[in-house]
Structure formats: C-alpha cells, structure tokens
Amino acid sequence: MTPRPIHLADLTLAHQRRPAVHHVSGRFAPGSLTAVVGPNGAGKSTLLRALAGLHRPDGGRIEGAAGQVALLPQAAALDRAFPIACLDVVLFGLWREVGAFRAVPSAGRDRARDALAAVGLTGFERRPVGSLSVGQFQRLLFARLLLQDAPVILLDEPFNALDSRTAADMLALVHRWHGEGRTVVAVLHDLEMVRREFPETLLLARDCLGWGPTAEVLTAANRLRARMMAEAWAADPADCGRQDAA
Ligand SMILES: Nc1ncnc2c1ncn2[C@@H]1O[C@H](COP(=O)(O)OP(=O)(O)OP(=O)(O)O)[C@@H](O)[C@H]1O
C-alpha cells in the first residue's frame, strides 16, 4: 500500500462565504496516522469532506488526495431509514472497482461477506440497516471501508456512541490500516485516546493551531488558544481578516 502525500496549500473552505477552514497549509505524510481535533464548529468535518472531494476549496488547494481516499462520514449525517440490506451497503465499497450499473461478481460478494465477518457481523447479510444498533451500524460502515481498500482512510468521529468493546475492535482496524502503510486521518474528541493512539495531531479552530507530533501539539496553551479562537469566530464568523479569503 503506497499512498501519495496529501498537501494542503493555504486552504480555505467556506459555507455560504463564511470560512470553516481558514488558510491551512501542511502535509499528511504517506502512512501517517493523524488525529484532527478542535472545538465544535472548528471545521474538522468540512476538512474531511474536502479531502474526499465533497467540498470544493474556496481558496488555496488540496494536492494528492483525488482518487485515493475513502471517507467514513459522521454516523449522524447518514439516513438509516433507507430500505437496504447490510450486504448491499458493504458492496457500495466496490463502486469504484465495479461501476454503478454492472453486476457485482461473486468474488466481490465473497469479499463483502469476509468484510462483514472481519467486523463481527457474520449473519447480518440480509438484515435491513434500519434494524441495526448504533454500534452495529458503525461496524457495517467499517466493513464498507475494508472493501474500498483505499490508500487513504478518513474517519469522522468513528468511535462516537460506541461501547468500549466495539470501540476497541474498530480501533484495532485503524491500527491494522496504519500497519499496512495506509494514511489514516480521524476526527476525534477524546484527547486521551488521541494521546495514547495517534502519533500525529492537527489542531484546528478554523485556523491551524498546530500540526505535528501529538505531544507537541496538544499542549494546554494550544488548547486554550483553540478555545479562544473558536469563541472569536463564533462572535464574528464572517471576519476573515485577510484579503484573499472566501
Ligand atoms: N452545510 C452547511 N451549511 C452551512 N454551514 C455549515 C454547513 N456545514 C458546516 N457548517 C458550518 O461550518 C462550521 C464548521 O463546521 P464543521 O461541521 O466542519 O465543524 P466540526 O469541527 O466538524 O464540528 P463538530 O465537532 O461539532 O462536529 C460551523 O460553523 C458549521 O455551522
């Protein structure tokens, strides 16, 4: 597995012209394992969506992400009322390989069953997604990522609302991906987990307040700055302060 590096060059991402990510520059090294942390509304999900090609830059550039990224969105952002069976959700992971309108070969179905087994969902093939618990649904989304087999994996709050057993199982998958040389980027709020498990951290409060080894980034001073920045942005969300921002 040889991911390409991903560069952010003076990246600004906006919603309705209000910057959510503001003049951020830096690099996700190939094979790195990075936590993206910051207060609510700091631009973390917006950044992941942009890396996945779902949000176009309003300023600056993202280089190297196209075609090598798989995204696990926040579970809360997904509609589970859709009447679809678990195996079919996992098979979406083959979309790039197989295409939208071609039948999935039986080998693909076998891989999907293997992915379900790998996340502890053997026997769930025909279950409608609406009948799954929160933790089972998150396992299902991880199974889809397994099938996607992407060099770069983006996870938006992947352990939210999971019990400790499920969180540990999903964390083991993250480490497996890292061990295979993939680049993994995860939005997280649990700073203890970040310190324990994630060697690199990007601290975001719309602006980048630190990006590098976790112990150097997650200092009390930086976290205080992040909170203050978030409050300043909340008070005046449109004030970019630079000529060239969106
Ligand atoms: N679709 C949207 N339309 C308008 N504004 C949006 C949209 N999505 C996000 N925003 C705004 O952009 C800012 C950044 O949101 P984002 O979801 O990226 O933050 P976050 O760091 O992921 O937050 P959280 O930790 O609460 O999930 C917030 O002020 C949010 O209200």
Query: Given this model, what pLDDT does residue 98 score?
Result: 61
CA distances from 52 to 66, 82, 174, 185 (A): 7, 23, 18, 11
Residue nearest atom 5 in ligand 1 by C-alpha distance: 15
Query: Given this model, what pLDDT does residue 114 score?
Result: 94
How many A from CA of 121 to the centre of ligand 1?
32
Query: Given this model, what pLDDT does residue 77 score?
Result: 66
Tell whether ligand 1 has an atom less than 6 A from the beta carbon of residue 214. Answer: no
Residue nearest atom 28 in ligand 1 by C-alpha distance: 41
CA-closest candidate to residue 134, choices 161, 173, 116, 100: 161
CA distances from 216 to 75, 191, 212, 221, 241 (A): 30, 13, 7, 11, 27
Fold of 1-68+150-246: Rossmann fold (3.40.50)
Q: For each of the chain's 246 residues, which pLDDT tens digit applies?
A: 789 999 999 999 999 889 999 999 999 999 999 999 999 999 999 999 999 999 999 999 999 999 999 999 987 666 777 788 999 889 988 877 666 556 667 778 899 999 999 999 999 999 999 999 989 999 999 999 999 999 999 999 999 988 999 999 999 999 999 999 999 999 999 999 999 999 999 999 999 999 999 999 999 999 999 988 888 887 776 655 454 444
Query: Given this model, what pLDDT does residue 238 score?
Result: 63
Query: Given this model, what pLDDT does residue 246 score?
Result: 40
Cβ pair 9, 173 in contact under 8 A? no
How many A from CA of 240 to the centre of ligand 1?
16
How many A from CA of 24 to the centre of ligand 1?
16
Query: Given this model, what pLDDT does residue 243 score?
Result: 44
Q: What token pair was written down for 80?
A: 């589970």
Helix (H) or strand (E) holding 142: helix 134-148
Q: What token pair was written down for 177?
A: 């991906």
CA gap 69, 166 in Å, rounded: 24
**3-class secondary-structure state, position 129:** helix
List residues bridging with 183 in a β-sheet: 152
Kindly report the pTM of this predicted structure. Answer: 0.91
In the chain, what are the domain boundaries? 1-68+150-246, 75-130+140-149
DSSP 4: P
Q: What token pair was written down for 63?
A: 């280089």
Tell whether ligand 1 has an atom less than 6 A from the beta carbon of residue 45. Answer: yes
Cβ pair 86, 142 in contact under 8 A? no
Tell whether ligand 1 has an atom less than 6 A from the beta carbon of residue 48. Answer: no
Cβ pair 205, 20 in contact under 8 A? no
How many A from CA of 45 to the centre of ligand 1?
7
**Total Cβ atoms within 10 A of residue 17:** 11
CA-closest candidate to residue 125, choices 100, 135, 136: 136
